[in-house]
Amino acid sequence: MDESAAATAGRAGKEDKVMVTLILVVCLAATPDVCREEQPPVDVANAMSCAVQGQVLAQEWLDEHPKWQLRGWRCRAGRAERAT
Closest alpha carbon to 67 in 22, 23, 27, 25: 27
pLDDT of 25: 97
pLDDT digits (tens, 9 = 90+) for 56-83: 999 999 999 999 999 999 999 876 665 5
- Nearby residues of 37 by Cβ (< 8 Å), 6 or more positions away: 23, 24, 25, 26
Residue 49 pLDDT > 60: yes
